[in-house]
Chains A and B, each alone.
Chain A
Amino acid sequence: MRSLNELPAGAKAIVASIDGDTRYLSRITSIGITPGCSIKVIKNDSKRPMLVFLRDTMIALNNNECKNIKVEVRGN
C-alpha cells in the first residue's frame, strides 16, 4: 500500500483506505473518493495540487492531504 501523493503521473490505483477527521472524510467521499474506487493520476507536480481522474471527473486535491489516501497500485 502506498500513499496517493507518492504516485507519478499516469499511475492507476485502487483506493484502499482513507484517514482523517470527520470533516475531511465527509468532503472527500462527497466528491467521489471512497475505498474501492479506481483512480488515475493525471499530474503530480511538487508545490501544486494533485490532479486525479475518477468516476468520469478530473479532481484537484491538496497534495499534502493526499498522504491520507492509501492506494493499491494497479498495472496498466
Chain B
Amino acid sequence: MTDGKKTIALLGQPNSGKSTLFNALTGLKQHVGNWPGKTVEKKQGSFMRNGEEFIVTDLPGTYSLSANSDEEIVTRDYISSGAADVVCIMADSSQLERSLFMLSDYAGINVPCFLVLNLADVAKDQGKTIDVSGIRNKLKIPVVLMDATATKKYDDFFVCLEEAFNSKAKLDTSLLENRLESIDGYKELKAVIPDNLIPGCSPVWMAVKSIEGDKVVRAKIENSLKGESKTAYVDIISKFDRGALLTGECKFSFIDDLLKDSVTKTETNIKQTKLDRAITHKFWGKTVVVLLVIGGLLLSFIPAVPLMMLGSVFTAIAVPVRSALESANASPIITGIICDVIFQSLANTVKMLGFAFGITLVFGMFEESGIMARISYVFDNTMSKMGLQGKSVMPFLVSFGCTIGGATSSRVIDNWGQKVLTIALAWAVPCGAAWAIIPMLATNFFGWRAVLVIVAILLVMLVHIWITAKVFGGRLVKKEDRYGIIMELPPYHKPKWGALFRYVLGRTKDMFFRVIKVIIPVCLVFWILSYSAGSIEDSILYKVGTAIEPVTKLFGLNWQLFMAFVASSIGKEGAVGVLTALYSQSGTIYGAVNGTNAAVANSTQLLLSNISGPEALAFMFAITFNVPCVVALAATYQETHSAKWTGIITAYYTVGALIISCIVYHIGLLIM
C-alpha cells in the first residue's frame, strides 16, 4: 500500500503487453525514475476508478523471478516487500504454454494476484479457443481474457481487478505441487523450510528456488536454520545438480495440466514473411536493417517538424520582449537572462522534444511491431563484441543524423549499463551539425583534399568508439553480464497508433521538465562566461581564453579557436559563427552560437587569412569529437537518469576532443 491508495503491480515476460496495459491504464499520469539503489528504470502511474485512486507499478519485463539480474531482484524484492496489494500477472494468449512460465514461477508467493491473458485477438486469429473459467477454477484466482490495445473494452479487466482486491485470492499451488512431488527430495526440503522466512513467500516457493540453486534464497534459509534442520537442508540441496531443469520441467508440466481441456488449438505453423526473410537474410540482412533505420529517421521528421516549429515561437516572442525590456530601461543583464537564456532554452527544448517525439513514436512502432527484435538478431554478433545488444546499432545510425535522436532511441535497450554504454559510444558519431560545417570548412581550407579529411574523421570515429568501449565497457557492462542472446522474436503485429501516441505524449511531458532542468543552467553558465557589456574582450571567456592560450596552443587552438571549441559544446552549428564574430569583432559569442548575430560578409576569407592549415585541421577534429550539444547532453541525462554518468561522458568527450586535436595538430605540422 502507498499512502492508503490501492496499489497494483504489473508482472509479465517481455512481449506480454505489459507496457500497453500500463499506458492504457495510466495515460498521461505516469512517472519514470529509478529503483532505489539500482540502475533499473521504475515506471509508476495512477488512475481513478469510481472515485478511488489506484497506483500502478510496471515491474521490469523479465522472463522469471530468479536472482540473475538487477531487474529480477528488483521485481522479487518489490513483490515480497508487500508494496503492492495485488499483482497482475500477464501472459500472451497466443503462446500461453510458454508465457505462463511467469505465473508458474510466481506460484507459492502469497501476495494476492489475478491473471490477464492478453493478446486475445491474436490467439483468436490463430484459431485458438481459451476457456477462462477452466483455468480460473484450477488456479482459484480471477482470470480475464482481453486485448489490452482495445482500450474501450476494459470492463472485464476492471471486474477482475475489483474481485482481486475484494477476495484477496492467492494462487492455488496444489496443481504445481503434484508435479514438484515427483522431484526426489522436494518433500523433505519443503518440510525443513520455515514459513514466512522471506515475507510473502511460502515454503513451496523457497523450496523451488533452493532446488534451482538460487543463491539469495539459499543463503537466507541457511542463515536462519540451526542444528539438525540446517544440516538436513544443506544435505538435501547439495544433491541437486542442474536443479533448474527439474523445476523447469515441473513448471511446464503444470502449465500443460492447467491448459488441458481449456485451450484448443490448431497446429501453429511458422511462416516467415517476405519482410522477415529479407531482414534475417544472411547477406542482405544488415543492409535491410540500415535502410529501415534511415527510413525510420526520415519518417520521424513528419510528426517532429510541426512540433519543432513551435520552438521557433519562443525565439520570435523573445524579440518583442527584448524591445519591451530595453524600452523599459531594464538592466542588460536581466534582458540577457530572460531573452538569451530562458527564451532560447525554451526554444531549444521544444525543438528537441519535437524531434524526440518523432523518434520515440517511430522507434516505438519498430519495437511494438516486432522489427526491433529482428534488428537485435541481425546485429547481435557485431554489437556483442563491444558488450552491447544488437539493438544498439540503431542509436549509432540515428546519431549520424542527430545525437539527440541517437540518445532518445537508446530507450529500447532494456539493460541500463548497455544503454549508457551505447549512448557514450554514439556520441563519437559525427552528427548532422558536424556534417553541415566540416565538409565546408575542409573544402575552404584544403580544396579536394577535404575528402581525405572526411575519411580521416570516419577512421578516428571507429578508433574512438573502440577505445571508448574499452574505457567504459568494463564498468558499465560487467563481464559476468556479457552473455549470449536468448530472446523471443515476436510475430509481426500491426502497431496500434492510438496507444503508442498516448505513451509517447506521456513520455514527452515527463521529458520536458527533465530536459529544461539541464539546458537552462548550462546555457546560463555559458551566457555568464561569454557576457560582455561592450566588446568581446570584457567577457570572462575572453580573459580565460587568452590567459590559457599558451596551453591551448599545444592543442593547435589559439584563443579564438579555443573559444569556438568551447562554444561548440553548446551547439556545433554555431562554431563557425563564433569564429567569424571573434575575427570580425562583431556580434556576441552567445548570439553566434544561437544564430542570432547579423551575417558577416567575406567570412570565408576572414577565416582563411587568420587560421593556418594545421590549426584548421585540429579545430575540425576538435569540434567533431567534442560534446555533441547541450540538448544531446540533456537527452543523455533523460535516458540514463544518471547525472553522474552524463557528467563523466561529458568530461571524457571534452578531454578526448582536445587530445585528438593535439595529435591532429602535430601531424598537421609535420605534413603541411
A-B pairs with beta carbons under 8 A, tally: 125
Q: Which of B61-69, B299-307, B427-435, B576-584 contacts A (4 or more CB under 8 A)?
A: B61-69
Instruction: Evaluate whether A31 and B249 lie within 8 angstroms (CB atoms) in the complex, with A26-B244, A48-B377, A56-B98 already known.
Output: no
What separation, in Å, do the CA atoms of A20 and B95 have in the docked complex? 26
Chain A's closest residue to B382 (CB) is A47
Instruction: Evaluate whether A30 and B64 lie within 8 angstroms (CB atoms) in the complex, with A37-B252, A60-B485 already known.
Output: yes
Interface size in chain B (residues, C-beta < 8 A): 43
Query: Which of A20, A26, A40, A51 neighbours the largest number of chain B CB atoms within 10 Å of its CB?
Result: A26
Task: List residues of B (206-263) whose CB comes within 8 Å of A's CBs.
Answer: 212-215, 242, 244-245, 247-249, 251-252
Please state if B377 and A31 are interface contacts (CB–CB under 8 Å).
no
Please state if A58 and B489 are interface contacts (CB–CB under 8 Å).
yes
Please state if B63 and A49 are interface contacts (CB–CB under 8 Å).
no
What separation, in Å, do the CA atoms of A61 and B249 have in the docked complex? 20
What separation, in Å, do the CA atoms of A31 and B377 have in the docked complex? 16
Instruction: Evaluate whether A56 and B94 lie within 8 angstroms (CB atoms) in the complex, with A22-B213, A31-B486, A61-B486 already known.
Output: yes
Tell yes or no: B280 within 8 A of A by CB: yes
Task: List residues of B (651-672) whose CB comes within 8 Å of A's CBs.
Answer: none
Which residues from chain B contact A27 at a C-beta distance below 8 Å? 63-64, 68, 483, 486
Name the interface size band of chain A: 35 or more
Which residues from chain A contact B98 at a C-beta distance below 8 Å? 31-32, 54-57
What separation, in Å, do the CA atoms of A14 and B130 have in the docked complex? 27
Please state if B248 and A29 are interface contacts (CB–CB under 8 Å).
yes
Please state if B376 and A30 are interface contacts (CB–CB under 8 Å).
no
Tell yes or no: B601 within 8 A of A by CB: no
Q: Is the interface of A mostly helix, strand, loop or mixed?
A: mixed
Which residues from chain B contact A45 at a C-beta distance below 8 Å? 282
Tell yes or no: B381 within 8 A of A by CB: yes
Which residues from chain B contact A31 at a C-beta distance below 8 Å? 63, 98, 101, 486-488
Please state if B282 and A48 are interface contacts (CB–CB under 8 Å).
yes
Task: List residues of B (73-121) whose CB comes within 8 Å of A's CBs.
Answer: 94-95, 97-98, 101, 105
Tell yes or no: A1 within 8 A of B by CB: no
Tell yes or no: B48 within 8 A of A by CB: no
Q: Mark A30-69, 1 if CB is under 8 A from B, else 0.
A: 1110111100101101011101011111111111110000
Which residues from chain A contact B251 at a C-beta distance below 8 Å? 29
Tell yes or no: A4 within 8 A of B by CB: no
Please state if A34 and B245 are interface contacts (CB–CB under 8 Å).
yes
Chain B's closest residue to A40 (CB) is B270
Min CB distance, A2 to chain B, in Å? 18
Please state if A30 and B488 are interface contacts (CB–CB under 8 Å).
no
Chain A's closest residue to B265 (CB) is A56
Which residues from chain B contact A42 at a C-beta distance below 8 Å? 270, 272
What separation, in Å, do the CA atoms of A33 and B468 have in the docked complex? 37
What separation, in Å, do the CA atoms of A22 and B248 have in the docked complex? 12
Please state if B242 and A18 are interface contacts (CB–CB under 8 Å).
yes
Min CB distance, A53 to chain B, in Å? 5
Which residues from chain B contact A55 at a C-beta distance below 8 Å? 95, 97-98
Which residues from chain A contact B2 at a C-beta distance below 8 Å? none
Which residues from chain B contact A25 at a C-beta distance below 8 Å? 212, 242, 244-245, 248
Please state if B97 and A56 are interface contacts (CB–CB under 8 Å).
yes
Q: Mark B358-383, 1 if CB is under 8 A from A, else 0.
A: 00000000000000010011101100
Please state if B377 and A36 are interface contacts (CB–CB under 8 Å).
no
Please state if A34 and B248 are interface contacts (CB–CB under 8 Å).
yes
Which residues from chain B contact A60 at a C-beta distance below 8 Å? 373, 376-377, 380, 485-489
Please state if A57 and B487 are interface contacts (CB–CB under 8 Å).
no
Please state if B486 and A59 are interface contacts (CB–CB under 8 Å).
yes
Min CB distance, A8 to chain B, in Å? 13
Query: Which of B245, B270, B378, B484 neighbours the largest number of chain A CB atoms within 10 Å of its CB?
Result: B245
Chain A's closest residue to B65 (CB) is A30
Tell yes or no: B602 within 8 A of A by CB: no
Instruction: Evaluate whether A26 and B66 lie within 8 angstroms (CB atoms) in the complex, with A49-B377, A53-B270, A58-B489 already known.
Output: yes
Q: Mark B153-175, 1 if CB is under 8 A from A, else 0.
A: 00000000000000000000000
Which residues from chain A contact B66 at a C-beta distance below 8 Å? 23, 26, 30
Which residues from chain A contact B95 at a C-beta distance below 8 Å? 55-57
Which single member of A18, A56, A62, A64 contacts B268 (CB below 8 Å)?
A56
Instruction: Evaluate whether A24 and B485 lie within 8 angstroms (CB atoms) in the complex, with A42-B270, A47-B381 already known.
Output: no
Which residues from chain B contact A11 at a C-beta distance below 8 Å? none
27 A-B Cβ contacts within 8 A? A18-B245, A20-B242, A22-B214, A23-B483, A27-B486, A28-B486, A29-B101, A29-B248, A30-B105, A31-B101, A31-B486, A32-B97, A34-B245, A34-B248, A45-B282, A48-B282, A49-B485, A56-B94, A57-B488, A58-B491, A59-B486, A59-B489, A60-B486, A60-B487, A61-B484, A64-B484, A65-B483
